[in-house]
Amino acid sequence: MDPCRALLSLLMLTGPAMAARAQDCTPAKLLATVQMQSAEPESNIRTVPVTLNGVTRHMVLDTGGAITQLSRDTIQELQLPMHRSGAAVYDINGRVSRNFAMVKDFTFGDLHRNDAALLVWPDPSRPYAGELAQDMLQPYDVDVDFATGLLKMYAKGSKEQCPGPSGWTPATRTEMRNKGWHLHIPVILDGRSYDAIFDTGSRHTIMRLPAARRDFGLDADSPGMEPYRAINGDPFLNGSLRRFSKLSFGGITMDRPEILIVPDVMNRHADRSPMARNRAYFHNADLILPELSLGMDVLKHLHLYLAFGEQALYIAPAEVISGAAPRILPVKP
């Protein structure tokens, strides 16, 4: 069952937030509008157009990613020069890339970069030019409407700029903190609090297995755990789907969410040797999956405004969703 058929409840903005919007202020300046496209069937993932040396290609919109990456096929197709990098990128399957490609002319919406050094995407199989991540989004305030398929880029908010989005009224506002190039928001799952990320590059909402074991006593053979084989086509990484009771964030409540619980193998190919200055500490010890990541199974039903200038996330229900949409009910104070 699609977890997004569940009930969503939204708490309308009141008090100081609405008062702030009523004050005299300058509307946000719209810089670019980008049409998103659906990616894989039934994944709800979206892609955005970019130009690479004058050639248009589509990259996955990935708010859960830190660094924009190019696929190997695109690098070969466009004959881009590739070099060894001092940095590395890892994916959920533990695949690693330590190379980057040089793009003489990179354009996304209002963003234009010359001689862009883009790391190589570790995933060898997905049929896209790569993933467009936080490093390309954070210079702006970003409006993402999954119902209309539009992504809008605004000048990042100044002191004189009106807070929040332009042209629509958010239902709720929540704190959004940038930690290690990931966007974190407070989330509650069945009474447990998490410093979660929201990830438009993920089909599922995901929980790290150690967190599921610690907080709910769950393992792969626990009752209610449905096997999920070969995550991202990797026969060595299997997870489990499990339905929980309630997921809440920013005044939104979702009943009976289905969450993919996965082992954390992200650093299995990383350098984990002891550090030279203090051998009690190890390289890449903090290279772990977030305990909880909200995926497109939840996010596809929402209209999001990523206010990087305010460090806040504004949310409203998407007005038009293909298929069966959830019911939206106001929460009584």
* CATH number of the domain encompassing residue 288: 2.40.70.10
Residue 218 sits in the same domain as residue 283: yes
Same domain? For 91 and 213 the reply is no
Say if 149 falls within a structural domain: no
131 and 99 fall within a common domain? yes
* Torsions phi, psi for 307 (to 5 deg): -90, 85
Same domain, 186 and 323: yes
Query: Residues 222, 243: contact at Cβ < 8 Å?
Result: no
60 and 177 together in one domain: no
List, for residues 181-216, the tens digit of each pLDDT value: 688 999 999 999 999 999 999 999 999 999 999 999
Can you give the pLDDT of all 333 residues of the chain as single tens digits? 444 444 455 444 444 444 445 457 888 899 999 999 998 767 889 999 999 999 999 999 999 988 999 999 999 999 999 999 887 776 666 677 789 999 999 999 999 999 999 999 887 777 899 999 999 999 999 999 999 999 999 998 677 889 999 999 999 999 999 886 688 999 999 999 999 999 999 999 999 999 999 999 999 999 999 999 987 767 778 899 999 999 999 888 999 999 999 987 655 544 555 555 655 544 444 546 789 999 999 999 999 999 998 999 999 988 744 433 444 434 333
- Residue 44 has a CB neighbour count (10 Å cut-off) of 24
- The 10 Å CB-count burial string (b at 16+, else e) for 222-250 is eeebeebeebeebeebebbebebeebbbb
> Is the residue at 99 inside a domain?
yes
Cβ pair 327, 31 in contact under 8 A = no
Going 87 to 92 to 94 to 96, the CA torsion angle's sign is: negative
Q: Are residues 126 and 206 in the same domain?
A: no
Q: Count structural domains, the chain.
A: 2
Distance, first Cα to last Cα, the chain: 31
> Looking at the structure, do residues 268 and 294 belong to the same domain, yes or no?
yes
Pair of tokens at residue 300: 């596809």
Same domain (yes/no): 187, 314: yes
Closest by CA to 264, choosing from 245, 244, 284, 243, is 284
Report pLDDT for 321.
Answer: 40
Please name the helix (run of DSSP H) or strand (run of DSSP E) that holds residue 135, with its range, or none.
Answer: helix 134-137
Element of type H or E holding 60: strand 55-61
Euclidean distance between CA atoms 110 and 212, whole angstroms: 41
pLDDT at 277: 66
Q: For 88-106, write each residue's pLDDT tens digit.
A: 776 666 677 789 999 999 9
Q: How far apart (Å, rounded) are the C-alpha atoms in residues 67 and 313?
A: 20
Please tell me whether residues 183 and 100 are part of one structural domain.
no
What are the DSSP E strand ranges found in 109-238? 111-120, 130-132, 140-145, 150-155, 172-175, 177-179, 182-189, 192-198, 206-208, 226-228
Question: Has residue 151 been placed in a domain?
Answer: no
Residue 8 and residue 44 in one domain: no
Range of the domain at 74: 30-137
**CA gap 33, 173 in Å, rounded:** 23
pTM: 0.83
**Residue 158 belongs to a domain:** no
In a domain, 155, yes or no: no
Same domain, 13 and 34: no
Cα 254 from Cα 176, distance rounded (Å)? 19
Closest CA to 99 of 111, 81, 113, 115: 81
CA–CA distance, 110 with 32 (Å, rounded to integer): 5
Largest Cα–Cα distance of the chain, in whole Å? 59
In whole angstroms, give the CA distance from residue 242 to residue 250. 23
Residues 187 and 271 placed together within one structural domain of the fold: yes
- Domain assignment present for residue 11? The answer is yes
Alpha helices by DSSP H, listed for 267-315, are: 296-299
